[in-house]
Amino acid sequence: MAQTPDIAPRFHTEKLPCGLRIVCAPSATDVVYCGIAVNAGTRDELPDENGLAHFCEHLTFKGTRRRRSWHILNRMETVGGDLNAYTGKEETIYYTAFLKEHFARATDLLMDITLGSTYPQAEMNKEVEVVIDEIESYKDSPAELIFDDFENLVFHGHSLGRNILGEADRLREFRSTDVQRFASRLYRPENMVFFVYGRIPPATVRREVEKALKRVLLSLPEPNPLRSALSPSGAPTLPLDDAAIGRTAAPEYEPQNVAIHKDTHQAHVMIGTRAYSARDPRHLSLYLLNNILGGPGMNSRLNVSLRERNGLVYTVESGMTSYTDTGIWSVYFGCDPHDVSRCRRLVAKELKRLSDKPLTPQALEAAKRQIKGQIGISHDSFENVALAMGKTYLHYHRTQDIETLYRKIDALTPSDLHAVAQDLFQEERLTTLIYK
């Protein structure tokens, strides 16, 4: 299951003196999707902070100097909107959807929780058990858990391989000061993007953002490191770089073959390798190749081989994730334990087909037509467009519309995809993880 490349239409971008970047684009309805993307994820945790990025996300809703937890949760709900967030390996995103007349309300709330949260210990003591329940429910689903364990093999010893949720024992040890320290290091205007997808004029966006920032500034105690950044008289602030965040490169990749005993009815298998960053021009070739091999279409090669022709699996898929400086590609399937070897041989056969010979021009054109249709349909989800827009501008300081993406796909050649298959799909390069 591949990521959808980041896409969005007609943009306005600017940067405020405090370093906060703004990106906005108009939509076709009166519903607005906006949020704050923070350049802070699991890979930015220090060695003793595993799980803190995700825990911080939960606690950001638990109180500010202006609002208690109930006021935060109720603020958008009372006008029919919603408020949500998620934590990834490289970002945390807070976002809300609402009718456009409530834009000022949403902007003020988002700025307040991301820059003014207090992370009260009493709320932490309750919320930690919620997160631990989330961890335990995840452990009950081997088809999901194996993805985390596989990524830990591919990025062994690096924070990119850590489980986003963390471990229960360590989470119970965190105190309010730990979360405050994490937030003060990473939840800063120069490390954030405010994004808006909706019919809000850019001048209105800037005006409401500046008003909300002023309210946060007035709520901050003395001394506070954010006060100088948010002060109108402060010097222009530059974005934090990887060194300032503490972000390090992944170590050299070493393929592994690991089997773990699990008391499950099915065997679960993942096969894959380290792949390309989102900045690597080859990542788009891999995106198309991955869709041919094991994308969401019922006509993907792996689905036809393992399920339709042989009836060996219910689910088989391939997927890729491109980070800012590296990436990962993998195949997943679940099957009867007695069929593991046969399924692995069939996967290897499909990989070899793509490595041995380039696609024909006709096959490539059909694959392009399919993926462009999938992208167009995904673009119909305004929430997905908004989130992709914020994430893209956060990490890459750029925007990309759907027509530009289509042109890049159209420019791919059989030799582009063949070179990627030969690079990534060689048996000696692959890591395998089996739950049995």
pLDDT tens track for 191-223: 999 999 999 999 999 999 999 999 999 998 887
Give dist(CA 318, CA 395) in Å, integer: 25
Q: Binning pLDDT at 50, 70 and 90, where does residue 10 land?
A: confident
The 3-class secondary structure across 127-153, one letter per residue, is: HHHHHHHHHHHHHCCHHHHHHHHHHHH
* 338 DSSP assignment: G
CA distances to 154, 212, 284, 420 from 328, rounded to whole Å, are: 8, 39, 13, 13
Rounded to an integer, the average pLDDT of 113-120 is: 97
What pLDDT digit, counting tens, does each position of 36-82 carry?
999 999 999 999 999 999 999 999 999 999 999 999 999 999 999 99
Report pTM: 0.94
pLDDT at 2 over 70: no
Task: Taking residues 119-133, report their average pLDDT.
Answer: 96
| Mean per-residue pLDDT, 120-148 | 94
Using CA atoms in the order 150, 156, 161, 167, what is the torsion angle rounded to 10 degrees?
Answer: 90
pLDDT of residue 234: 62
**Torsion sign (Cα): 122, 137, 149, 349:** negative
Confidence label for 1 from pLDDT (cuts 50, 70 and 90): very low
Token pair for 403: 């027509």
The mean pLDDT value for 387-398 works out to 96
Q: What is the mean pLDDT of the chain?
A: 94
Q: Looking at residue 9, what is its pLDDT?
A: 55
Residues of the chain with CATH 3.30.830.10: 12-245, 257-435
Answer for the pair 256, 272: CB distance below 8 angstroms, yes or no: no
**CATH 3.40.50.1100, domain 257-435, yes or no:** no
Q: Are 18 and 192 in contact (CB under 8 A)?
A: no
Over residues 310-338, the mean pLDDT reads 97
Structure-token match 């989102």, residue found: 278
Q: How far apart (Å, rounded) are the C-alpha atoms in residues 337 and 241?
A: 47
Quick check: 156 pLDDT over 60? yes
pLDDT at 235: 60
Above 60 in pLDDT, residue 5? no
Give the CB-side neighbour count of residue 45, counting CA atoms within 13 A. Answer: 28
DSSP string, 73-106: HHHHHTTT-EEEEEE-SS-EEEEEEEEGGGHHHH
Question: Could you give the CA distance from residue 333 to residue 270 in angstroms, rounded to a whole number?
Answer: 7
Predicted confidence at residue 350, as pLDDT, reads 98
Q: Which pLDDT score, from 0 to 100, does residue 8 have?
A: 46
- pLDDT for 140 equals 87
Over residues 251-268, mean pLDDT: 94
Q: For residue 400, what pLDDT is reported?
A: 86
Q: For residue 244, what pLDDT is reported?
A: 72
Confidence of residue 4 (pLDDT cuts 50, 70, 90): very low
- The mean pLDDT value for 377-402 works out to 95
Name residue 135's amino acid. I
At 240, is the pLDDT very low, low, confident or very high (cuts 50, 70, 90)? Answer: confident
- Confidence label for 3 from pLDDT (cuts 50, 70 and 90): low
Q: In whole angstroms, what is the distance from residue 20 CA to residue 189 CA?
A: 5
CATH of 12-245, one of 3.20.20.140, 3.30.830.10, 3.40.50.150, 1.10.10.10: 3.30.830.10
